[in-house]
Amino acid sequence: MDTRSVPDTASVAGSDVASSKTRLQLPPSCGPPEPGQPTKQMVWIVFGGTGHMGRSLVKSALSHGDLVTTVGRVFETSPEDMAKVNSDTCLGLLCDVRDGASVRRVIERTIARFGRVDCIANCSGYGVIGACEDQDEHELRNQFETNFMGTLHIVQASLPYFRQQNGGRYLIFSSTSGALGVPGLGPYCATKYAVEGFVEAMLYEVDSFNIKATLVEPGLVRRDEPADPKASPLPTWGHFLIKPASEAYSHATSPALHAQRMVQWLGDRQPTSAVKCAELVWQLAHCSYPPLRLLLGSYAIESIRDRLRSVTEELEDWKHLNFPPPPDAPGAEELLKKDDNRDNKAPESQQDKDKEENEKKEEVEQEAGDGGDDAMEKEDDEEKNREKGKDSKKDKPETDEMDVDKEQGKEMEKENKDKDEVMQDAPPEQPSQEVKPND
């Protein structure tokens, strides 16, 4: 996100002396607090408040009149040291973000002390500088437990309260390593990628509860404190452990040593000011429309922009596999013709394959059904013979009756013929005379 200064132009790469003359301001599109205008007092919880970025954020919030619970890491800060920061506006606690119960206790004690929680910032983080192959399972798990599971514990412990309150703000410190892969920081990059995906997905889920979240991506931040180690107990790269490289990755030009070479070359000359970053993050907590991501420092802008440009170029190079080229593109006609020919041939070849498969199936069925066909033919013949036999039996009595009728008819004709002959031989009958009675 771009920033503007009041009244002069400045950047997060300036010094503290310059920052006293100019004040960086977030763009008006996100609705930041107006310069010189009073702002609502907020209650903060800053996890990792004893680190470089966390300590600068705590100081910035207190300087603006907010109430802050600063949380130190149990394995590097003592309870006595945290008790020194206690005041009416600040509460110092210890917590191990890898333990969900420890995170819940911090939130409960903050609510008991200040009555509410408005904004939670997670500045805690841990990384190992070394080749992916050289880092053992313990180192891998410890980075994921601190960076990803720590963020998850913070969100899950506070979301029920924010939902009940119908409002809340998360400022999750990611890194440029959450947007690009850095040789020598493979597992650390993996944890930041996981944090970015988790927060972005969660933001869609809780937006209806008036809960906002922003991923802060600083790049190469210096602590803006005296370089004398006696004056500051914090090491320059306190949240990173440099692991010696194995023989395969130990030569001077090995890409796996990129992160280590960068650390040794920069020393305490990181270009981005932690004090100015903290000021912008404080404004971010008071924004009406906070962004999803806030990039801080020229290194973050340039490296992530180059990464996105590389991804865009890859998409453009390979998009022709999924989309047709524009008609006016060079060689577009030839590509379209090839695609058309390929599309036309594809159905024919598929039809040929289907035809061959069907023919093979028919051949197999014919071979398997030859024996069965013969048996069926025999059964059909036998059935036909049986039917013929039945028909012959039915027809035979009818023929016998017809023969009997013919013989009887012949006999009757013969009898009639004999009668006629007898009648012809007999003398004609005399007419009968009436006998009169004698008087």
Task: State pLDDT tens for residues 283-329.
Answer: 999 998 999 999 888 878 888 899 889 999 998 888 878 877 677 77
Average pLDDT over residues 365-385: 65
Q: For 160-213, write each residue's pLDDT tens digit.
A: 999 999 999 999 998 888 888 888 889 999 999 999 999 999 999 999 999 999
Q: Which pLDDT score is estimated for 74?
A: 78
Average pLDDT over residues 405-431: 61
Kind and range of the H or E run holding 421: helix 332-425
Do the beta carbons of residue 145 and residue 126 sit within 8 Å?
no
User: Which tokens go with 365?
Assistant: 């069925």
User: Which tokens go with 183?
Assistant: 């040789």
Q: For 212-232, write each residue's pLDDT tens digit.
A: 999 998 877 766 665 555 555
> Crossing angle for the helix pair 150-165 and 186-206, nearest 10 degrees?
10
Q: Which pLDDT score is estimated for 190?
A: 93
Cα–Cα–Cα angle for 139, 174, 178, rounded to 5 degrees: 75
Lowest mean pLDDT: which of 244-253, 355-364, 406-415?
406-415
Instruction: State which of 186-190, 395-399, 411-415 shows the largest mean pLDDT.
Output: 186-190
The secondary structure of residue 331, as a DSSP letter, is T
CA-nearest of 266, 182, 261 to 217 is 182
CA-nearest of 4, 6, 3, 2 to 22 is 6
Pick 170 or 239 by higher pLDDT. 170
Which three-class secondary structure state does DSSP give residue 264?
Answer: helix
Q: Which pLDDT score is estimated for 427?
A: 53
Does pLDDT of 417 surpass 80? no
Give bridge partners of residue 43 from the DSSP assignment: 67
Pairing of strands 168-173, 119-122: parallel
Which three-class secondary structure state does DSSP give residue 278?
Answer: helix
Q: Which pLDDT score is estimated for 351?
A: 67
Average pLDDT over residues 376-398: 61
Give bridge partners of residue 168 from the DSSP assignment: 211
CA distances in angstroms from 20 to 36, 59, 92, 200, listed in the order given: 14, 15, 28, 35
Lowest mean pLDDT: which of 60-74, 104-118, 150-164, 241-255?
241-255
Confidence of residue 148 (pLDDT cuts 50, 70, 90): very high
Give the chain's domains with CATH numbers. 4-297 (3.40.50.720)
The secondary structure of residue 161, as a DSSP letter, is H
What DSSP string runs through 334-395? HHHHHHHHHHHHHHHHHHHHHHHHHHHHHHHHHHHHHHHHHHHHHHHHHHHHHHHHHHHHHH
Percent of the chain residues past pLDDT 90, beyond the cut? 33
Across the chain, mean pLDDT equals 78
Distance CA 35, CA 23 (A): 9
Backbone angles phi, psi at 172, to 5 degrees: -100, 120
Helical ranges in 135-273 per DSSP H: 137-144, 150-165, 186-206, 258-266
